[in-house]
Structure 1
Amino acid sequence: MTVSDTNVWRHRTPRTQLGMFMFWLIIVALFVFCWNMMTERTMWVFVYDAPTAAADLASRAWPPRWSYMSQLWAPLWDTINIATLGTLLGIIMAVPLAFLAASNTTPSRLILRPFALFCIVATRSINSLIWALLLVSILGPGLLAGILAIAFRSIGFIGKLLYEAIEETDINQVEAITATGASQGQILNYGIVPQVMPAFYGISVFRWDINIRESAILGLVGAGGIGAQLQASLNVLAWPQVLLIILVILATVVLSEWVSAKVRHAII
């Protein structure tokens, strides 16, 4: 038997190699096209001067105006309330939608499930700032617009992850409870809910952690919280105050991350 008579193993067939080459060629061409589009109207004189401008801005912002801290406690508390109340309201609205969207718990696959999926996708696809802009124009500036913006954004996040967790429940437990002659409510209460509760707790706490970060900037569009103080300081070019607010937001986010991790570890 000669060497030419044996089959030589190759990592990819010639057709696959050609396909991979064409794929990467398209990716490179798309990158070049997007880069040209992005830099077409870029004023490079400002880009070259950016390090000098950044250093000048940092020199004017340092040191932080610590005396301004007394005026940040109330807006900071408002920010935490926006995130907390918005998360709770989002949970209240997301849980029914998740059970309607899950294929193994929905009472109607033709009407209610598509409706629930549409609500989840629609709320998840719109950013919190856009929700806040819309709600501020409807309800006026204030905390209510911020709470509702956080809630609407949370519906899609919580609903999607929760309905996926519902669909991944162990069918054997459900079948065992069904075999006892349990009603649909009992099957849901004893066969599905206990399985998804750990995921529900983790999703809820994780979303609250995210909402702390998002609610900190909703004030930029009039939805209350510490973002309103940031906007006011930016308007008058009070850079030491801006730096202090940024540091406070950073500390709040770090603290919320620590609290979120501790709560998830304790619950799950």
Structure 2
Amino acid sequence: MSVRDISSAEMPVWHHRTAAGRLGLYAGWLGLVALFVWCWGLMTERTMWVFVWDAPTAAADLMNRAWPPRWSYMERLWGPLWDTINIATLGTLLGIAIAVPLAFLAASNTTPSRTLLRPAALFCIVASRSINALIWALLLVSILGPGLLAGILAIGFRSVGFIGKLLYEAIEETDARQVEAVAATGASQAQILNYGIVPQVLPTFWGISVFRWDINIRESAILGLVGAGGIGAQLQASLNVLAWPQVTLIILVILATVLVSEWVSARVRHALI
């Protein structure tokens, strides 16, 4: 046997994982499959499969009753549609007004107190993000009664978490060298904030605000389902009387509104950023 054969025989063969590692990987996949099967059985325990198998026929029957849309109903949708846009716009402005101070309090490089104010601001941001706009609307309708005010406040409170989180992260990612350069001139804390930090986060702020307005257009369209006004109220009324051609028209109007808001949002972000 040659020296080359001996060296080849003694050279260990490299494997991506050890035998124990491969066994653990297979056991992990088996556990995930078992967990999926258990969860599926739990979720479908009370499912009436006769309705599931009949779903295509029921869906086809519903589509036949819902088409064509009742175009004459459009004259009653202009007002609620305008209310929906106002809910989204005013709610976004309210969210911005609350989120901006919270973001500066939550950012580690701008907060005046890391032990008290920063945790409190972070808690407000997390609490806002944890509650869906529909739940906010349910709570506010029960407190204030049905109407546009509940919808505006629901959108505003929901927007605080989204805007505040992204904005305070942008504040923390600002270039410290620019802040130090402004501070080296003897500027006060307010001047450092105004000339060292705000110019850096301003493009991000505009982008976040416009993007959130676009999201709020979609969310405000369904707040009427719980009495918070807007076109969702017309949708709920049509569903209650099984007026499917009207439901189809309302869904098409919501879809068109979302597409237009998406286009406007993209154009505005392109112009501002």
**Which TM-score applies when normalising by structure 2?**
0.95
Greater Rg over alpha carbons, structure: 2
TM-aligned CA distance change 1:177 to 1:231, over 3 Å: same
Q: What amino acid sits opposite 2:155 in the alignment?
A: I
Structure 1 CA distance for aligned equivalents of residues 11 and 111 of structure 2: 57
TM-aligned CA distance change 1:171 to 1:82, over 3 Å: same
Deviation per residue, 1:63-100 (Å, 9 max, x gap): 10000000000000000000000000000000000011
Structure 2 CA distance for aligned equivalents of residues 42 and 215 of structure 1: 32
Name which of 172, 177, 188 aligns with 1:172: 177
Q: What amino acid sits opposite 1:152 in the alignment?
A: F
Q: What amino acid sits opposite 1:264 in the alignment?
A: R
1:257 pairs with 2:237: no
Deviation per residue, 1:141-190 (Å, 9 max, x gap): 00000000000000000000111111111111111111222111111111
Structure 1 CA distance for aligned equivalents of residues 37 and 9 of structure 2: 44
SS in 2 for 1:2: helix
Name which of 19, 23, 26 aligns with 1:21: 26
Q: What amino acid sits opposite 1:88 in the alignment?
A: L
Structure 1 CA distance for aligned equivalents of residues 267 and 16 of structure 2: 47
Deviation at 1:212, TM superposition (A): 0.2
Q: What amino acid sits opposite 1:230 in the alignment?
A: L
Between 106-115 and 175-184, the greater mean CA deviation after superposition: 175-184
Q: How does 1:152-171 map to 2 (within 5 A)?
A: 152-171=157-176
For 1:68, the equivalent position in structure 2 comes to 73
For 2:134, the equivalent position in structure 1 comes to 129
1:84 pairs with 2:89: yes
Q: What amino acid sits opposite 2:116 in the alignment?
A: I
Deviation at 1:4, TM superposition (A): 4.3
SS in 2 for 1:9: coil
For 1:139, the equivalent position in structure 2 comes to 144
Q: What amino acid sits opposite 1:234 in the alignment?
A: L
Q: What amino acid sits opposite 1:200 in the alignment?
A: F
Segments of 4+ in structure 1 off by > 6 A?
Answer: none
Structure 1 CA distance for aligned equivalents of residues 12 and 109 of structure 2: 49
Deviation at 1:34, TM superposition (A): 1.2
Identical amino acids, percent of aligned pairs? 82
Unmatched segments (≥5 aa) in structure 1: none
Deviation at 1:242, TM superposition (A): 0.4
Structure 1 CA distance for aligned equivalents of residues 184 and 29 of structure 2: 54
Cα RMSD (Å) of the superposition? 1.2
Deviation at 1:9, TM superposition (A): 3.1
Structure 2 CA distance for aligned equivalents of residues 204 and 83 of structure 1: 12
For 2:14, the equivalent position in structure 1 comes to 9
Structure 2 CA distance for aligned equivalents of residues 185 and 9 of structure 1: 61
State the number of aligned residues.
268
Deviation at 1:13, TM superposition (A): 3.7
Deviation at 1:137, TM superposition (A): 0.2
For 1:232, the equivalent position in structure 2 comes to 237
TM-aligned CA distance change 1:14 to 1:108, over 3 Å: farther
Deviation per residue, 1:32-85 (Å, 9 max, x gap): 121111111101000001001001110011110000000000000000000000
**Which TM-score applies when normalising by structure 1?**
0.97
